[in-house]
Amino acid sequence: MAGRGYTFRVARKASPARLVIALSVAAVLAVFLLYTSIAGGGNPSIAPSALKGRTAKVQLVGVVVGPVRGDSHAGGKHFRLRDIGGSRATGVPVVYSGSVPDLFKVGREIVVVGRLRNGVFVSEPGSMITKCPSKYAPKKNADDPA
């Protein structure tokens, strides 16, 4: 291509510009790796039946089983959570504090973060997310943890 790429200075073989770009790419990657190694991964997402004996913080995904008792803003809401597609026997007791999304009710699929303590899954406040039952229904009910 005649005329293109002509510069008034002799073109250097190893352009400093290329080096800077390469360093920038490396910097971006470094940031990424640094973060993932320091902050660590997220929370494992498991079903209630897999909860036995695990005391680390996890995200529990399941179906609400009644009876539902208590006040999430005073002493906690008590209910059970069973596997999606599982039997009532797979249920674990959950005590939840914080904001409860509107769609919460018995039979609804929910996601809640917390840890197992003395056989009861104690939630992190405000971490409940409900899933909408119908096919194409976007609905957010997440309360971001403070």
Partner 1 sequence: MPELGRAALLVTLGLVTYALVAGAAGAHLGRRRLAVSAQNALVAAFFSTLVASAVLLAALLRNDFSFTYVARTTSEALPTAYTISAFWGGQEGSLLLWLLFLTGFGAAAVRLNRQWARDLIVWVVPVFAGVAVFFSFLVVAVASPFATQVAPADGAGMTPSLQNPYMLAHPPLLYLGYVGLTVPFAFCLGALLAGRPDERWLIATRRWTLFAWAALGVGQLLGAHWAYVEVGWGGYYAWDPVENAALMPWLVATAFLHSVMIQEKRGMLRVWNVLLVLLAFSLSLFGTFLTRSGVVNSIHSFTQSSIGPWFLFFIALTVGVSLAIVFWRLAQLRSPTKLESPVSREAAFLYNNLLLLALCLAILWGVVYPLISEAVRGEAVVLGRSYYDFFLRIFGLPLLLLMGIGPLIAWRRASLTSLLTTFRWPTLVAAGTGVVLLFLGAGSSVPGLVAYTFSAFVVTSIAMEFARGTRARKALGASSWATAFSSLLGRNRRRYGGYVVHASIVFLAVGIAGSSAFDSVSEARLSRGESMTVGAYTLVYRSLDERQTANATQIRAQLEVSRGDRELGTLEAGKNAYTVEQQVSNEVGIRSDKLTGEDLFVIAEQIDPDGTVYFRVFVKPLVNLIWLAGLVFLLGSAIALWPDAREQRRLVARMREVGLPATR
Partner 2 sequence: MTLALVLAAVLAVGCVVAVAFPFIKEPEPESDDLHEPDEEGRRRLELLEERDRSLAALKELEFEHRTGTVSDEDYRIALGPLRREAANALRALETEGRPLEERT
Residues forming the site for partner 2 (CB under 8 A): 1-4, 6-8
Q: Are the C-beta atoms of 60 and 48 separated by less than 8 Å?
A: yes
Strands 129-130 and 109-117: antiparallel
C-alpha 55, offset from chain centre: 18
Residue 3, contacted partner among partner 2, partner 1, none, CB below 5-8 A by kind: partner 2
Residue 74, contacted partner among partner 1, partner 2, none, CB below 5-8 A by kind: partner 1
Residue 2, contacted partner among partner 1, partner 2, none, CB below 5-8 A by kind: partner 2
CA dihedral over 75, 79, 80, 85, signed as positive or negative: negative
CA–CA distance, 10 with 31 (Å, rounded to integer): 36
Closest CA to 50 of 81, 11, 19, 12: 81
Residue 49, contacted partner among partner 2, partner 1, none, CB below 5-8 A by kind: none
Q: Is residue 32 a contact residue for partner 1 (CB under 8 A)?
A: yes
Q: Which residues bind partner 1 (CB under 8 A)?
A: 1, 4-5, 7, 11, 15-18, 20-21, 24-25, 28, 31-32, 35, 39, 41-46, 59, 61, 71-74, 99-103, 109, 111, 129-146
